[in-house]
Amino acid sequence: MTSIHDQAMNYVYQQVLQRLLGFFSRAERTALQLLIQRLAVAAGGMERIGDYKVLAIQSGARDNCYTLALLRAAQLTIATRTPATFQLRIASLRLNGANCAAVENMHRTNSALFVYDDPRVEVLMVDDREVLPFNHLTPVSDAGRESGRLNLLLIGHRREWRGGFDLWDDGYLATGEFYGQIARWDGGVDALLISDTPRQQKQFIEGLKRAATKAGLQFSHTGEAGYAGLFALLDELGSDCYQGFYADYAQAPWRPQERFETCRRTACIDIHDLLVSNLEERWPMLTEFLGFQPDELSAQISDNEFVSPSISAHVRGLQACYVQGRNYESGIAQYLQRALVMMRRKRLPERLCEQAIEVFGNPATMTELRARAAAEAQKNLGLSEAQLVCLLFSPFIDKGAGLEPFLRQCHPGMLVAMPELHKAMQGHPVAEQIMQWMIDVSGLPLSLIGQLYRMEWTPAVDGGAPEAIIQRAASHNTPDDPDAGITMEDEWSAGH
């Protein structure tokens, strides 16, 4: 029975491979052979490939699905030539604000590539530091949502309120910690597959270091460029990147704890140079075979993976309104202007620019746009508009240095209570209504507000890309883009 089953499954895998190869151009077939050769060399020879395990991070973005298809083709091709092929671990990180469409794209890609029932493939997800089998129907857990909300706020508040617009740096730190932990889970992996361009790798490492600094972590500023130095950096940061915030506040450990290796031997295999096809050549495989369903506007206008364009624009509007003394509409207009510059520099179809103008440039729908974005931020990030404004001012850090301008601009009725607010942040007893106001306006428990109060703000880091949260090749730029690697931050920086 087992032999019959194995024969049937091998037939299925061969069918999957043949159909997949049918979508490959001649250049892609050449790239596939180069990928196989690169994997064999990394494994120490084709005779050792059966003991080699590769980690692929799954995001559900367009180029990420394409890269996974190429890797699966390599795995199945090797299986037709040798007694064994490499093991594959596909892992995704569940975060607040994750696009539901991206999760569906992950599932459709996995199904099309027939990885769920293949014993040579692990398909995993991490939710609230727990490693679980991937399930596209399972939403982020309540504990995971709360942990993610607190982490976003804590990292985001660790900035001088007039400084850089780096509110979403938690995405870097959470992803970096995830890379380090999933690479050593259950026997570990030998290599992490990388498809980011060198520029995108540089942006990620810079963002990770900036976020780590906000978390109070120490690390050396030397090391190999790009992802070649990623795991050495992660070793320095340790297994709990948020411990500086949670001294007196319970945080979930990575689990199942007994299944994590203490040492890491992971290398990186960079294949960005093997992604040879342009976007138009990829669409048939993506849509017809993998079942990929694009959200074209979000894919091209988004300045980070973890916050939608509508929330990004909304926060720009709030910044203009509350911090810069302008109106909400001017912040949205500036966001749209920079987005259009970026889109046209990438020579995107004009219809996408027109779609962006319709969404973000229509004065008649501005009130509705603001209400929808506020509702989305509440639903996906667990943050009210008042809490987003509080985040913009970061009023608690550095002994409450930004508290007075925050109160004067946003809550003038609380100015009289400033001494009591400082007492509360110092850990002294104050009236219940004072404590409740602080919790409501910030979204943070009083103990964590006090922790921020005792920490200094971190200066902006030169050369960073504050809004380009994890701009992967897996995100939205392709090698045929004239300005592949352009981020919204490149455009924002021109106007500040």
The domain segmentation of the chain, as residue ranges, is 2-289, 296-384, 395-453
Low-confidence ranges of the chain (pLDDT < 70): 1-2, 264, 296, 299, 302-306, 460-496
Local structure of residue 380 (DSSP, 8 states): I
What is the C-alpha to C-alpha distance for residues 424 and 430, in angstroms, rounded to an integer? Answer: 6
User: Residue 103 carries which side chain, given as an amino acid letter?
Assistant: V
Q: Name the nearest CA neighbour of 133 among 88, 82, 91, 74.
A: 91
**pLDDT attached to residue 179:** 96
Helix (H) or strand (E) holding 151: helix 142-157
Task: For 265, list phi and psi in degrees, rounded to 5.
Answer: -125, 25
Q: Name the nearest CA neighbour of 467 among 338, 357, 366.
A: 338
What is the C-alpha to C-alpha distance for residues 403 and 398, in angstroms, rounded to an integer? Answer: 10
**pLDDT attached to residue 130:** 97
**pLDDT attached to residue 6:** 80
What is the C-alpha to C-alpha distance for residues 485 and 128, in angstroms, rounded to an integer? Answer: 31
Helix (H) or strand (E) holding 314: helix 309-318
Cα 227 to Cα 87, 193, 206, 267, 271: the distances in Å are 21, 10, 11, 9, 12
**pLDDT attached to residue 460:** 60
**pLDDT attached to residue 80:** 95
How long a stretch of residues is the chain?
496
Compute how many other C-beta atoms are within 10 angstroms of the C-beta atom of residue 6.
11
Query: Does residue 376 sit in helix, strand or coil?
Result: helix
> CA dihedral defined by 362, 367, 368, 369, rounded to 10 degrees?
60
pTM recorded for the entire structure:
0.90
Helix (H) or strand (E) holding 406: helix 403-410
What is the C-alpha to C-alpha distance for residues 387 and 383, in angstroms, rounded to an integer? Answer: 6
Concatenated DSSP letters of 38-84: HHHHHHTSGGGGGG-EEEEE----HHHHHHHHHHHHHHHHHHHHSS-
Helix (H) or strand (E) holding 27: helix 26-43
* Adjacent-strand bridge partners of 131: 126
* Both structure tokens of 280: 């138009």
395 cis-preceded (ω within 30 degrees of 0): no
Q: Name the nearest CA neighbour of 213 among 179, 145, 164.
A: 164
What is the C-alpha to C-alpha distance for residues 469 and 170, in angstroms, rounded to an integer? Answer: 9
Task: For 363, list phi and psi in degrees, rounded to 5.
Answer: -60, -30
**pLDDT attached to residue 352:** 86
